[in-house]
Amino acid sequence: MENIKFKLTWIVASLILLVGICFGGYRWLQEYRYPISNVAYVQGISLPVSAKTSGRIASIYVQNNTLVKKGDILLLLDSTPAQLAIAQAEQTLAHLKQNIVQSRDAVNTAEKETEERQQELSELSRQVFQEQQLAASGQITSDQLLEYKEAYQAAGYALEEAYNKLSEAYQAYGPHGASNDKIAAAQAALNNAKQRLIDNRVIAPVDGYITDFNLKLGMRIAPKLPLFNIIENNQWWVEALFEPAVVARIKPKQLVIIRETNRPQRVIYGMIEEVTPKLPCQSESKFYPMTINCHYTLACP
């Protein structure tokens, strides 16, 4: 029994030793093949992102380090004010069009009535002239002639009233071309309201990574003011510090493994394009500075 326990203990110890040797060898190969720095900062050419209109943030689709493409929606502002403006502009435009149609119909009706009254007055004028000749020859009485004259006078009053209605209709309809101007102004107001709804979207201007993002839902933002930044793709690099023993074997085009100082959980794999002069950043420092252009990244969870 003791012999069996001894063998099991020896086997377990051997396995532990073997795992330790393998892990140590793997770490040594990794450090030898891929120089590692735990003191590094990401730098880059950043582009500020701003909104085109004011409003409260309704939706957020990104956070720091989010990779975005040009045209991606980053934020959405509350669309309620824009939708209300669109509804009001549509109502104003529809009401204006309806009023213009009604005013145009009123003008047409007044013109037709005026034309009818003119024809009626002309016909009565001809009849009065004929009846006057008949009365002079004694063929009709003066009372009969008076009836024609009264009808003619009434037709004159009716024509005057028709002219007044026509004048009011013209005034309500407005000058020539004024209706088109009103329609154009109302349509422009509607287009502006629709554009404001489109502008509620904050869009990525370039491909890149989100940085300096501190916005929260419900925050009110103003237009044309920087909200956060985007570091453009292929426009960023890493400034890292390496130990002298590591620097001695670093060569251009060599892969390196870097952990950001501010975010140690994030691992960056980069490629060195140029080795800077091997001078310490401070006389008492054991680290050497080096600039690394990263061709690709891998953020670990």
Give the tens place of pLDDT for each residue, 81-97: 999 999 999 998 888 88
What pLDDT score was predicted for residue 266? 62
Q: Is the domain of 74 the same as that of 210? A: yes
Q: pTM above the 0.85 mark?
A: no
Q: Is the domain of 65 the same as that of 96? A: no
Q: Is the domain of 95 the same as that of 146? A: yes
From 170, 197, 224, the end of a domain falls on 197
Parent domain of 119: 80-197
Residues of the chain where predicted confidence (pLDDT) is lower than 70: 1-43, 176-178, 235-249, 252, 254, 256-301
Q: Is the domain of 182 the same as that of 219? A: no
Q: Is the domain of 233 the same as that of 155? A: no
Residue 16 domain-assigned (yes or no):
no
Q: Is the domain of 36 the same as that of 109? A: no
Residue 17 domain-assigned (yes or no):
no
Q: How many domains does the chain have?
A: 2
What pLDDT score was predicted for residue 142? 77
Q: Is the domain of 147 the same as that of 55? A: no
Residue 161 domain-assigned (yes or no):
yes
What pLDDT score was predicted for residue 281? 40
Q: Is the domain of 151 the same as that of 236? A: no
What pLDDT score was predicted for residue 285? 41
Q: Is the domain of 89 the same as that of 176? A: yes
Read off the tokens for 204: 């990525």
Match 């009434």 to its residue by tokens: 154
From 149, 170, 197, the end of a domain falls on 197
